[in-house]
Amino acid sequence: MPQPTPQHPAAYPVLPIVNALNRDADRPLVEMAGGRAWTGGEVRDAISQYAQALTARGIGVGARVALLATNCIEVLILHNATGFSGSCLVALHPMGSADDHLFAVEDGGVDALIYDPRKFSARAAELQRRTNRLKTVLALGEGEHGENLFALAADFKPAPLVPPPLTGDEITRLSYSGGTTGKPKAIPGNARVGAQALQIMLSEWEWPINPRILAVVPLSHAGGTLFAPTVLKHGTMVVMPAFEPKAVLEAIEKYKITCTMLVPTMIYALLDHPDFGKYDLSSLETVFYGASLMSPVRLKEAIERIGPVFFQFYGQAEAPMTVTVMRRSEHDPNNPLRMASCGRPVPWVDVALLDNDNAAVPDGEPGEICVRGPLVMNGYLDRDELNQETFAGGWLHTGDVAVKDPDGFLRIVDRKKDMIVTGGFNVFPSEVENVIAGHPAVAQVAVFGVPDEKWGEAVQAAVVLRPGAKVDPAELIALVREHKGPVQAPKSVAFIEAIPVTAVGKPDKKVLRKQFGA
């Protein structure tokens, strides 16, 4: 059906997507691995129906709606439907704990919850029990809690997709990240940031012609960014519900996948699978990877076994997806320092390595990666003091310390913050410490990351016990797993006599990292 052209600032980046969906209305666009395929027209009409259903239940301009689901077509549809209803999407990570989800609901001022009853019925019930914020609960199908969104959307006829009359500065998405203290903080997104991120991805990322994209990372987070390029580049997206190495290898061969996005631990799992050599992966042209540092040794192995198809991107939620890139041809397997690099800054952002006085450091000297430009967020939600620190000198301070080589490539050497990145996921030590410290046998605890071949970093805990107390390390690991989820659970717990401290009495995690990292 023909679509009218919006004439207001919020139209971009949704206007090109609408036009592309109309253009490819009869072409298969999204296919669930092993399931049905959706044409561009079917996706467009579903977005319209879902947007109308949200508006009918009061989830319109200014409302904030949390989404809790694993990979499915409805996640992609809702990501777009919230834009057309004018609401703000708060994506809850499917591997997050109940406490994490509750914090996002309350801190983010969430009005409504949409959840997948096949996976998260118990979590939806728990959230309803623990907070009175949720005015509306919708289920993706028949569920014990809330209204069936499928049935509600089916009551509406597809209509032209027209964004609401917004200025473009409204918050359209809230993402959650941790700070130096480990307390999560809300990162607002708007049309400006979204448009800039998409523009950089379209211009700087190396996409195959008419890409066939395999989506295995969570669509609620980084995986969802693959949708717009798929639509705009006449591509097709094959969606897997979750990452499973053999299933991914099978899908690449079966669907002749030309492009995918993986975190390093996923690449390791593919390389280490006993059936790796049985599958034809020759269709792959580009493998985008990021979210955590990758072992140069494993990266070289991946290139040798799969081919020169790897493209690295570096960014953070505060400057989403692409601050630097390392293109396929820039991966030099014979240069270990290059293989440890996160690439060079893209032309769309201003990047500098600064010291503690916000002065540029000489090439070859370590400095904090600082960014400015239209890709950068406006600031954390309701965190004025933190914003002053984060934007000192007019730059976004990423907390990542890097050195620049003579060719302009950046190599991250450390993080000023204590955040641990394990398997592409962020773990904040204080959250884990708070759980372990609650055990009656524990006197002190320090949590930090140590290098790990598989995970990039592993969560390590050093514990000082109370006099005469005993506890099995497995019990502490299980305690964290119960309260924070499997990602945050330490891979190892060591018992020590005392936590080393700095001159001012703070735990000296640098000493611990050196001791246990060896």
Q: What residues does each domain of the chain span? A: 39-188, 205-415, 420-517
pLDDT in tens, 262-282: 988 889 889 989 999 999 999
Tell me the mean pLDDT per 10 residues along the chain, length 518.
Answer: 47 78 96 94 98 96 95 96 94 88 96 97 97 96 94 97 83 76 80 93 98 95 94 97 95 98 89 93 97 82 96 95 97 93 97 96 94 96 94 95 94 76 81 85 89 91 89 96 92 91 64 86
Residue pair 411/337 in contact (Cβ under 8 Å)? The answer is yes
* One-letter amino acid for residue 170 of the chain: E
What's the distance, CA 157 to chain centroid? 33
Whether 205-415 and 39-188 are alike in CATH topology: the answer is: yes
pLDDT in tens, 145-203: 999 999 999 999 999 998 887 787 889 999 987 543 456 789 999 999 999 999 999 99
Angle at 350 between CA 345 and CA 355, to 5 degrees: 95
Residue 443 confidence (pLDDT) = 82
Does residue 79 sit in helix, strand or coil? helix
Residue 115 confidence (pLDDT) = 98
Q: Cα separation of 91 and 146, whole Å? A: 18
Tokens representing 24?
């490819």
Q: How far is CA 138 from CA 50, 88, 111, 135, 289, in A?
A: 11, 16, 11, 10, 34
**CA neighbours within 13 Å on the CB side: how many for 182?**
15
Nearest to 271 by CA among 240, 242, 304, 238: 304
Does residue 471 sit in helix, strand or coil? coil
Residue 32 confidence (pLDDT) = 95
DSSP conformation class of 494: E
- By the 10 Å C-beta count (0-12 exposed, 13-18 middle, 19+ buried), 146 is classed as buried
Residue 435 confidence (pLDDT) = 87
Residue 180 confidence (pLDDT) = 37
134 phi/psi in degrees, rounded to 5 = -75, 105
CATH tag, 420-517 = 3.30.300.30
Nearest to 135 by CA among 221, 54, 49: 54
CATH tag, 205-415 = 3.40.50.12780
Buried/exposed 440-453: b ≥16 CB within 10 Å, e otherwise: eebebbbbbbbebe
Residue 464 confidence (pLDDT) = 87
Residue 486 confidence (pLDDT) = 92
Q: Cα separation of 394 and 348, whole Å? A: 17
User: Looking at domain 39-188, which CATH architecture does it have?
Assistant: 3-Layer(aba) Sandwich (3.40)
Q: Cα separation of 159 and 155, whole Å? A: 12
